[in-house]
Amino acid sequence: MSATVLDAVQVEPRSFDLPSSIFYPELPEAAPLIRPSSDSPPAFEVDCLQKADWCIAKILDAEARMGRRAELAAELHSRIDAWMMKANTPDNDTVSYLTALLRPFVEAELSTVRRSRSLLLPSGTASLRKLPDRLEIVDPAAAMAWADANHPEAIVTKRELMKSELKRLVFREGEAVPGVEAELGQDTLYVKAAS
């Protein structure tokens, strides 16, 4: 049997000079928020219904811009993932095919060696590794019934604290529970568009 060893092929990555507007379209920017220093009076103060309505409109506009950016990012992520899957398909096929061809040869070569599980070659190393054993429970009810009847040591009983009961004890009964930090809920401002 004869074998030919080929030199490793060097592949240089290509860069694509695409305009950034393809990936990052210009969305209208919000005006920067200027925070006054602590010693100067606030530049803007909400002291009437019109100013409160203006604030709500600005908040809703900012949330809409953030939502459009999130949609754009999700679309770009999915396009990049689809491109990568398509671009990698020929290489994945090559790896699968050549691995299937290489495996019997590596197994035969390593069967003659006592200690090593790796075949060292000029282009790289081919190794055999044992993967961890895998167990998947496909029908938990059937497995639980069998284990309960035959091997109860295979069942784990989990002890957990019930938060609803602890909340009742702390906030309604005034009980001091060691190892628990409690804080009364605070009001939070929510803004939504008028319907």
> pLDDT tens, 132-189?
989 999 999 999 999 999 999 999 988 899 999 999 999 999 999 999 999 988 888 8
Residue 83 predicted with pLDDT over 70:
yes
Question: Roughly how many angstroms between the first and final C-alpha of the chain, as a whole number?
Answer: 80
**pLDDT exceeds 80 at position 115:** yes
* Other beta carbons within 10 Å of 24: 12
- Quote the CA–CA distance of 163 and 111 in Å, as a whole number: 58
| Statement: residue 118 has pLDDT above 60 | yes
Q: Are 107 and 128 contacting, i.e. CB atoms less than 8 angstroms apart? A: yes
User: Given this model, what pLDDT does residue 114 score?
Assistant: 79
44 versus 85: which is more confidently predicted? 85
CA torsion, ordered 130, 132, 133, 136, to nearest 10 deg: -140
Tell me which amino acid residue 193 is.
A
Distances (CA, A) of 28 to 25, 35, 69, 72, 109: 10, 21, 11, 14, 64
Q: Is the dihedral of CA 109, 114, 120, 125 positive or negative?
A: positive
User: pTM score, two decimals?
Assistant: 0.52
Q: Find the range with the poorest average confidence among 32-36, 47-51, 138-142.
A: 32-36
Mean model confidence pLDDT for the chain: 85
Task: Give the pLDDT confidence of 66-75 residue by residue, as tens digits.
Answer: 999 999 999 9
For the chain, which residues make up each domain, given as ranges?
19-30+42-128
DSSP calls for 64-123: HHHHHHHHHHHHHHHHHHHHHHHHHHHHHHHHHHHHHHHHHHHHHHHHT-SS--EEEETT
Of 138, 14, 146, 143, whose CA–CA distance to 87 is shortest? 14
Whether residue 63 is predicted with pLDDT greater than 90 in this model: the reply is yes
CA distance 124 to 106: 13
